[in-house]
Structure 1
Amino acid sequence: MKVLILCTGNSCRSQMAHGFLQSFDSRITVCSAGTQAAGKLNAGAVAAMKEIGIDISNHTSDQVEQYLDQEWDYVITVCGGANEVCPAFLGKVKHRLHMGFDDPSHATGTDEFIKSEFHRVRDQIKDGFYKLYIEQIKPQLS
């Protein structure tokens, strides 16, 4: 089972989703990429995941082009906001899904509020991807 998670910057939401999905089942090959990859991970995302025991600090922020020639069981976009354009993936894909989440890296305010936004979005990503795993992916692995 191969899953590609796409976003614009591939530094925050897609990286958290990547970490969660990989933690659910080691039989899944998970990659993440961005149409305008930042080239580095968002420190807030890394910290939020580390707090719950998932280390994504070794992930890389990759350009989507490096995955276009591969076949995927799932390609999942995780862009959220109304003014944000989700990337299109033109490669060979069995299932295309969109699961939109707010971008916590755009949060402004106190450090406490910004941290709470990372936690909120992290928890939404966990819940959404766990539901996808249980309802769609895991049955295909059995």
Structure 2
Amino acid sequence: MTETIPTTPINVLFLCTGNSARSILSEALVNDLGQGRFLGWSAGSHPSGQPHPDGLKELSRRGHRTDLYRSKSWDEFEGADAPRMDIVVTVCDNAANEVCPVFPGDHISVHWPAPDPAHVEPIAVRQQAFADVYDLCRARIEALIALPQDALADRATVQAIAGIST
């Protein structure tokens, strides 16, 4: 039996507080790896106003376009004209006591924690932190896009990608 590919992309929103690093990396990865089956978005509850320069450097270094991404508020995704999200992923780091935003609506909500590389010092260590977070996000997104269509509606399956049981 051949799996049916949906005619509309699966919208995935990545949320964090500042929308400058982890969520931007994830948005770019979903858009580039999802090959039209997935469409990535990102936002923050308190956006920083711009993507972190080291995040953009990491994306560029890995072959991604960077001109498509900006830091934005999740308010852009709450109106009637906003795209309907199928999956909402928070990427805040529980170990750092970050408060993850809660996004209302009818969607699969999961938490894929990742350390925030934006505040790591010195610069050389921060650049490696961005590379490490990129690799973590890429592994999770590759697992997500490899899931069969019916598994995408199962919260426990999508959550398990982060190595965390529900």
Output the TM-score relative to the length of structure 1: 0.88
Matched, 1:87 2:101: yes
Moved more, 14-23 or 121-130: 121-130
Residue 91 of structure 2 is matched in structure 1 by 78
- 1:16 and 1:56 in contact (8 A); partners too: no
**SS across alignment from 1:2:** strand
CA distance in 2, matches of 1:133, 1:59: 21
- The one-character-per-residue Cα deviations of 1:57-109 (angstroms, maximum 9, x if unpaired) are 3312111011023421101111114310110001232x111101000011112
Larger radius of gyration: 2
- 2:26 and 2:40 in contact (8 A); partners too: no
Name segments (4+ residues, structure 1) moved above 4 Å.
136-140
CA distance in 1, matches of 2:17, 2:120: 17
Paired residue type of 2:141: F
Matched, 1:27 2:37: yes
The Cα of 1:113 is off from its aligned counterpart by 1.6
User: CA 1:119 to 1:3, structure 2 compared with 1: closer, same or farther past 3 Å?
Assistant: same
Give structure 2 stretches of 5+ with no counterpart.
1-9, 153-166
Query: Taking CA–CA contacts closer than 8 Å with sequence separation of 6 or more, which of the two structures ends up with the larger relative contact order?
Result: 1
Give structure 1 stretches of 5+ with no counterpart.
none
The Cα of 1:137 is off from its aligned counterpart by 5.8
Matched, 1:102 2:111: no
The Cα of 1:139 is off from its aligned counterpart by 6.8
Query: Aligned residues, how many?
Result: 138
Residue 143 of structure 2 is matched in structure 1 by 131
Paired residue type of 1:75: V
> Among the aligned pairs, what percent are the same residue?
28
Over aligned residues, Cα RMSD in angstroms?
1.8
The Cα of 1:38 is off from its aligned counterpart by 1.0
CA distance in 2, matches of 1:75, 1:27: 16
